Every structure is written in C-alpha cells, then in structure tokens.
Amino acid sequence: MQVVPFRTWAEVSRERIAANFHSVRNAVGPAVEVAAVVKADAYGHGSVEVSRVLAAQGAKWFAVSCVDEGVTLREAGIDARILVMADYFAYSRAALVEYRLTPVLHTLGDLRDLDAFARSRNTSLPFHLKIDTGMGRLGTLSGAAEIACAIKDASHLKFEGLMTHFASSADYTRPQTENQMAAFAKVSDSLCALGVSPTYVHMASTNPIAFGRREAWHNMVRPGHALYGYLSPARGAAPHPVLQVSPALQWKARILATKDVPAGSLIGYGGIYCASRPMRIAVLGVGYADGLSHRLSNRGHVIAAGRLVPILGAISMDVTTIDITNCPSLQAGDAVTLLGSEGTVSINAQQMARMAGTISYDVLCGIRTRVKRVYV
C-alpha cells in the first residue's frame, strides 16, 4: 500500500458519499428533489470533491450557507443549482448574479431590495423564501397576505421556493415539529389561495427524512448529516429510520515517537496524568490545532493496532499522547485511527462528540484544514 505522506489526514470515501446520497434518493423517491447540503466545506469532508461526486451521481441542487461557499463550487466547475441558505447582504448581490447562486431570503425587506437590484441589472432572479414557523432563528414572521403582496410586487424576481427549518425534528417527545408543520401549512395554503405558489416547497433536513416523516418532504429535501453517514439519535418513540448510511470519513494520525516510561511519570501539560505502572506511550502528530477537542484530554480514546486505547494527559496544540502498553508492536511512523474503524473496533463522530461534550456536526466541521483530505 502506498504511504500517505501526512502526519494527520482525513480519508473520505467517495463511494460512501455516493451510497449515502442514493439512500436518501431512494427513500424520498423520484418526485422529490434532493438538495445536497455541502455547507461548511461539506461538514469537513471537502465541498468541492463531495459536490463533484454527487454531481456525477445526478445531484441537481446543492445548498451552502454563504455566498463564498457557492462561489467556491462554481469556480471548481460545479454547474448544478446552488442555494445560499444564510447569507444575504447588499455587498454580495452582484456575486449572486455573476455566479448564478440562488439566495434564500429571510425578510420582505430583502425581497424588495433584491427586486430593485434585479431591475437595475435588467434581469430576473430566482429566490427561495424562508418562513419562521417556530424555530425562532432566520425566516420571516410576516403573514401570508403581506408575503403575497411583496411577491406580486417583485416584478424582477421569480418565487421559486418556500421553505422552513425544524428546530427539534429528532425529538418525538415534544410537539414542536408538528406545530412547525401546521404553521407552515397555514402560510403555504394561504399563499396558494392568494395565487402565489412556488416551484419547490421544502422543510426537511436529515432527521425528517430519516424518520420517514413524509408530510415534511413536499417536493424537495435538504439532507446534510445523512450524506456524511450520520443520523441523529431520536428522543422518544421515533419510527425506525428509513435510511441506511455509514460514515464517509476516517481520521488518522501518525505516531511521532514511542517510549517506555516508569511508574509515577507525569504525562504532558499540567501533569494531569500520572502513570500508575510502567507504561509504553506513543506521541501522535495531531492536537487541538487540528480539531481534536482539548476536552478529550485524559478521557478520549483512539484505535491503535486494532485496539481502543486511552488518550493520556492533556491534548496539546500539535501532539497527543496515548497508552500503547498493550500494542507494543507500534512504532514511530505507524498510523492510528481517531475516527473510523480498524477490524471490529470503531469510533464515530457521535461517540467522540459525546466524550467531548458536543455534537457530531461540531466534531466533523471542527477537523481543521491542516488535516489533509485524502479521497479514496
């Protein structure tokens, strides 16, 4: 096998990404468009490469958070539609046109502003409108009558999508999602009655797809997490997931040095670990500056020579120490697995997140650019 010449790297499986996409595709069926969410550099997987893989698999829509992310995809030659979900500022209007990006608007003021801009450019621009149905974040709280007026007045805009976003779609113990769906239906039905209906209606991220909440699919869904191989654990009595996905990313780091230390040795900054017996330790070429959470100090694990072994002491900026007493064959240059599997042992981003007191999304997005992405 060819040696990967990096001290730490993330191996992303194109095949897994494609398979996860098809799992979503097949679950929702041909009548539902899938907008692949590749924001935040595709949750750390690399948005350009992931989008290329998905475009080759037939993806027609991508969704990003900001204009810059959309520009990056266009400049890389991605030709599909790109929805910019959370970035409407006056200074980026020109880029929306130049790079054929489709904005999500969150206020009727933005709608009027974009219309004036489109008129000044003598062009017509598509947009999606987000309504706040109870998440209390982005999205307009205006009523249907007001929205319909603004849309009818916008002579240089095309009302292409109506959307909302759920706050707690994996939580089956509370009615928030039902309430949001009811609030959405009320606005969208009224808009229809007032004669404005968009091409796409969408509200589902991974969870409502995974748990088969068909009423939330309409004719477009916006999966992110699932594409990378994750479904959130449900709270309460959730239906069995309809998606079959598996993690696409494995994170590795090489051993810089190994050594035997006597009982009583203190390991790393602050001396927060004390060897209770003679031990063999390995120092890894990865640290919190690579995105390995400092909160895993003295509590996280990695997979070394097929075994789960503990992280010893504080995680440093650039190095991390582990206990390899039970895997003495390991040497400097060998790689260990931070995320992924070796044989039957595995650590996924959800498990790492639980240990670090965060969520899998944060773990994946937190893998820094210094960690080289390798596509396999």
Ligand X SMILES: *Cc1c(COP(=O)(O)O)cnc(C)c1O
Closer residue to ligand X in complex, CB, 232/250: 232
Q: How far is the CB of 53 from ligand X (least distance, A)?
A: 17
d(CA 338, CA 314): 16
60, 152, 259, 269: the catalytic one is 269
Q: How far is the CB of 346 from ligand X (least distance, A)?
A: 21
Q: How far is the CB of 23 from ligand X (least distance, A)?
A: 13
Q: How far is the CB of 167 from ligand X (least distance, A)?
A: 11
Closer residue to ligand X in complex, CB, 77/233: 233
Q: How far apart are the first and last CA of the chain?
A: 13
Closer residue to ligand X in complex, CB, 92/206: 206
d(CA 3, CA 170): 41
Interface residue list for ligand X (CB under 6 A): 37, 39, 85, 165, 205-206, 222-226
Closer residue to ligand X in complex, CB, 52/165: 165
39, 273, 288, 361: the catalytic one is 39
Query: Contact, 203 vs 170, CB < 8 A?
Result: no
Which residue has the CB atom at the shortest distance from ligand X?
Answer: 224
Residue 220 neighbours by CB under 8 Å, 6+ apart: 32, 33, 34, 35, 61, 161, 200, 201, 202
Closer residue to ligand X in complex, CB, 273/361: 361
Helices (H) and strands (E) in the chain, counts: 11, 19
**Other Cβ atoms within 10 Å of 59 Cβ, number:** 24
Residue 125 neighbours by CB under 8 Å, 6+ apart: 96, 97, 103, 114, 117, 118, 156, 157, 158
Q: How far is the CB of 34 from ligand X (least distance, A)?
A: 11
Helical segments of the chain, H only: 14-28, 39-43, 47-56, 67-75, 93-98, 108-120, 144-153, 176-193, 206-210, 349-356, 360-365
269 is catalytic: yes
Active site residues: 39, 269
